[in-house]
Amino acid sequence: MHYRNGREAKNGDKIIRLAGGKIDAFGWLVDAVPGNDYCNGSIVDKRGVVDYACLCDCLHVDDVAELLAAQGLAKRPEGK
């Protein structure tokens, strides 16, 4: 099981799901079964709402944080 960028997917990972270039779901990966990167598992948010997880449309939040840092967006701007 792998996310869009090739990172190995594991149940319990904190993930985001992309749709049309936008984040449309966020939560923890559950019920994913090895051997399938498509429509495999579910995303559960902190309220307990369950949504589908197509792993090829998902990224681990640590990888998203790295993308933001690479663009200089990881730090809050200083106040004026």
Q: What is the pLDDT of residues 4-61, one digit of tens each?
A: 999 999 999 999 999 998 999 999 999 999 988 788 899 999 999 999 999 999 999 9
Strands across the sheet containing 58-60: 50-52, 42-44, 22-30, 14-19, 58-60
**Which pLDDT score, from 0 to 100, does residue 10 have?**
96
With respect to residue 21, please indicate whether it lies within any of the assigned structural domains.
Answer: yes
pLDDT digit string, tens, across residues 56-77 = 999 999 999 999 999 999 888 8
Which structural domain range is residue 18 located in? 14-70
Could you tell me if residue 7 is inside a domain? no
**Residue 49 domain-assigned (yes or no):** yes
Is 52 inside a domain boundary? yes
Does residue 6 form part of some domain?
Answer: no
Q: How many domains does the chain have?
A: 1
**Lookup: tokens for 34:** 């090895």
On whether residue 53 sits in a domain, the answer given is yes
Tell me whether residue 48 is in a domain. yes
